[in-house]
Amino acid sequence: MPTYDYQCGTCEDRYTVMHKMSEAAPACPACGSLEVRKLVSAPAVHGKASSFKPMGSEAPPAMTGGGCGSGMCGHKH
């Protein structure tokens, strides 16, 4: 199920919710308002980090094992 980022138009609280695409935007968890807007967020990218090869160089040692999310991709999660 995809996750969506929202911001409340009443209290300005930002929150992330996991729900089906076909479901309506949920009420703000902080104040209960239904006046919320969906924020644009970066898409999730999945795949093996070992397939990543920077042009003109070898992949750093941290990127040679495991995929993103396992802590081995070189990103600080």
In this structure, are 29 and 55 located in the same domain? no
Domain range for residue 64?
45-77
Q: Write the secondary structure of the chain as one string of H (helix), E (strand) and C (coil).
A: CCEEEEEECCCCCEEEEECCCCCCCCCCCCCCCCCEEECCCCCCCCCCHHHCCCCCCCCCHHHCCCCCCCCCCCCCC
**What is the pLDDT at residue 2?**
87
Six-digit token pair at 24? 């309506």
The answer to pTM > 0.75 is no
In this structure, are 74 and 57 located in the same domain? yes
User: Tens-of-pLDDT digits for all 77 residues of the chain?
Assistant: 889 999 999 999 999 999 999 999 999 999 999 999 999 977 777 776 655 566 665 555 555 555 555 556 665 65
**What is the pLDDT at residue 42?**
74
Count how many domains the chain has.
Answer: 2
**What is the pLDDT at residue 24?**
93
